Structure 1
């Protein structure tokens, strides 16, 4: 399924409780991109174009984000259901064929669950800074952070809640919060507007269930031949970086570093894609 050189082929996929918008470009083996945070498929346009010379690159808006609509806008969200959405996407675009997956942030949590439930469908999964804070020794502290974010969102609104969230994500001992996940280049005004529109859903429906998700670490340990845990060069010490680093050490595998920080796909797309292409060779 190849799109024209002027842009991706777009489509929609009906799944349980939602309709997913997806985009496909390039040719070759399937590479599925799962965006994170409040970003949809458009947030990965920069790397998708770079990768499409080697792979059939598919990206989609996770359920409830951007152009992927929910039947019930108030429905609770679950990692397992988001992972099933990714599996349905694989089945649509490369039925029965092994595929590669890149997951970013909350999308990396989806990718980890997908790997534990459908390992035979995947040859390589790159998980970039999945905030699976439940694996950390100080998990209770991060549960308290999520609770503060939710309470602030309920009582004070979106931006105060984002300020609490950003403060909790910063480096240990740092007075400067990391680049917020919704940060996009100035020239991407339309994308920034859409990302801002997604933020209430992200804070209200995604942050808590995803950051309370505890991955099956025993299962993941048995699948390290196809799992690449990754972090940003500039993210060291930040909360989103720590779980991947912790799991890589626990599994005795190397933590792959990508250029930039948590939003390296946006700030360093060409360099990020170059590192990813090397990591995807199974």
Structure 2
């Protein structure tokens, strides 16, 4: 058990998780600026990006890099400084550290070492996109970037296909068409919103069905990072029995029935009935990933 009183006096330093603007510098908070000025050190995903931010606000605090390629070795150095009473602010390239960047590892290590972790509120692209999409916000799942490999991406989309939560993804412009096409193929023609250049001058939302958004992608020169917001499944689950397979991938689902003495052909047919999928689609998925 770990209990933290964030502002109680201690001989150790504090880890400050400091969100930075995702585009518009006016979104920085007074508190974030104060912390960046007062800490002993700022650990940044890319020191070049953060240096420009600090110069804009006339902040001279020392910078050090902390990213996915050096987080293990650099993490030990930073923990030692925290143990000696120095406080360190962690920032990513933009937005909230710990969301689709290595900040999570530092938070985990600090907690294990009983070093206080203080998280400041601030900019986050996924939440801006969710609210601006007009899709339900009561329950949502943030995934981040889907796997690059087609096989791995298919497995993840299959897992999420039955989820009734609104789904949030990040994607780069050169992979956007491929990703939205995969979502359309697996989920059908659900409502879908793209959000790009959030908080910047050319901020844009593209709202429609998956097929309509694909048409827009094909006719547009794509620039900027994208958030993808996808409507959750509307299939009603009437009993707990109907959910027994929801944690299984299609391949695992088929193998379950084979283990129950069905032939592969019969198992594929049953999985197609369970998931309301075309038999051909189940067959292809099973033989690609099986």
- TM-score, structure 2 length as denominator? 0.29
Q: Which has the higher contact order (CA 8 A, sep 6+)?
A: 1
